Amino acid sequence: MKTNKVILPGSTICILGGGQLGKMSLIAAHQLGYHTIVWTQGGDAPAVEMATYRFAAPFTDNNTFASVCHLADVITTEWENIPIWLLEKFEAAGKLVRPSSKIMAIAQSRRAEKEFAESIGANPVPWVFVKAGDSLPAAATTLDFPIIIKTDRLGYDGKGQTSIYNVLEVPDTMPVDVVIEKRIDLKGEFSILVARNSNDEITVSPAVKNTHEEGILRRSKWPNEFSDSEFETEAQNIVIKMAETLELEGILAVEFFVSTNNELFFNEMAPRPHNSFHGSIDAAYTSQFEQHIRAICGCRLGSLNFHSKFTMTNIIGNELNYWLLEDACLPVIHGKLHIHGKNEIEPKRKMGFFNKLSK
């Protein structure tokens, strides 16, 4: 649904989900003079303490739903797996949901994302969808090995993915829907962030280069070898087309691969703040979180350009102690440290990040 409504400071923004992306969006919302609501289902939720109103209840809870309807002027998400039925229920109740349930539904399924990307002329890596219980080997042989099997839904930080190097290793079936992708040799990976508001205003970021370790984002860097390249321009055109086609009201981060033989591929998209743009808090004229709030409120957009060079390094698991306590970090600690404030440290869990800036 296209709506032109502007939400001014003093109004109330509801964020569904309680993770670090919500926390940083809330900080930006308060900085711009908004009141906020967080609705989480409980658990270790760093966003909760930032909000004006806090609800910890299952998403099926009708009392919380009624309270949010009463208090909120606009509803957004920080987690792409918020149930679509909940977003549709808010929309049916006449509430503004930005980005819309339609966009969120696409981002919840790798198949839907790839089909959408193809529909606007972007190029995903060769892929095939296999329904739960259907034969995998038959589908896998339509692609060149090696391949990666990814769950269609709910994957993140490399979870739900298996790389397979020959047909004998392919499982007969999977208990859930999957996509199989050709595993390509990467020259590199980058992401682009686009913002669009209900007045058709669009801004696009430069390409931020991403380096992964064990499927988890480790570093994001700007500038990089893709800066001012044809890959960057082509990818920017793709994400602008995506934002226009979806009538996006909010921000959308899109991940791209560049292969060793210089082909550009669409990887995946997320209609929310994205880890690879955490550097924007300290290095961009407008951070991705502020841009998210401006975009969902129908305000004029800022600039996603960077005024400083940066490398963002994720702090994972018990590396937190290194950054906070150990002498070894002293040569590199001059920068901006951001700690998410999660109660439990777990291996492979993102605990914070460090922005190293330079001129």
Which residues of this protein are in contact with ligand ADP, per CB under 6 A? Answer: 125, 148, 150, 155-158, 181, 183-184, 186, 189, 212, 215, 255, 267-268
- Nearer to ligand ADP by C-beta: 131 or 212? 212
C-alpha distances in angstroms, 146 versus 140, 166, 182, 185, 325? Answer: 10, 7, 6, 10, 42
Least CB distance to ligand ADP at residue 150 (A): 6
Least CB distance to ligand ADP at residue 36 (A): 27
Beta-carbon count within 10 A of 303 CB:
12
Name which of Mg ion, ligand ADP, none residue 156 binds, using a CB cut-off of 5 to 8 Å depending on partner kind. Answer: ligand ADP
Least CB distance to ligand ADP at residue 268 (A): 5
Least CB distance to ligand ADP at residue 334 (A): 29
Name which of Mg ion, ligand ADP, none residue 12 binds, using a CB cut-off of 5 to 8 Å depending on partner kind. Answer: none
- 328: exposed, middle or buried (C-beta count within 10 Å: 0-12, 13-18, 19+)? exposed
Least CB distance to ligand ADP at residue 114 (A): 11
> Token pair for residue 46?
């760093």
> Token pair for residue 32?
């711009």
- Nearer to Mg ion by C-beta: 83 or 155? 155
Please report, as residue ranges, which positions from 253 to 272 form the binding site for Mg ion (by CB under 5 A).
255
CA angle 53, 58, 62 (to 5 degrees): 75
* Rounded Cα gap, residues 122 and 264, in angstroms: 9
- Nearer to ligand ADP by C-beta: 37 or 192? 192
Q: Report which residue type is found at 199.
A: N
Least CB distance to ligand ADP at residue 127 (A): 8
* Rounded Cα gap, residues 341 and 359, in angstroms: 29
Q: Report which residue type is found at 309.
A: K
- Nearer to ligand ADP by C-beta: 51 or 252? 252
- Nearer to ligand ADP by C-beta: 19 or 298? 19
- Nearer to Mg ion by C-beta: 13 or 316? 316
* Rounded Cα gap, residues 8 and 10, in angstroms: 6
Least CB distance to ligand ADP at residue 10 (A): 37
Beta-carbon count within 10 A of 202 CB:
16
Which region, judged by CB under 5 A, interacts with Mg ion, from 161-169, 230-238, 249-257, 351-359? 249-257
Least CB distance to ligand ADP at residue 296 (A): 23
Task: Write b or e for each residue in 72-84: b if 16 or more Cβ atoms lie within 10 A of its Cβ, otherwise e.
Answer: bbbbbbbbbebee
Cis, peptide link before residue 83, omega less than 30° from 0? no
Name which of ligand ADP, Mg ion, none residue 184 binds, using a CB cut-off of 5 to 8 Å depending on partner kind. Answer: ligand ADP
Name which of ligand ADP, Mg ion, none residue 113 binds, using a CB cut-off of 5 to 8 Å depending on partner kind. Answer: none
Name which of ligand ADP, Mg ion, none residue 157 binds, using a CB cut-off of 5 to 8 Å depending on partner kind. Answer: ligand ADP
* Rounded Cα gap, residues 107 and 95, in angstroms: 21
- Nearer to Mg ion by C-beta: 152 or 255? 255
Show Cβ contacts of residue 74 under 8 Å, excluding neighbours closer than 6 positions.
7, 11, 13, 14, 95, 96, 97, 98, 296, 297
Residues found near Mg ion in the complex (CB under 5 A): 255
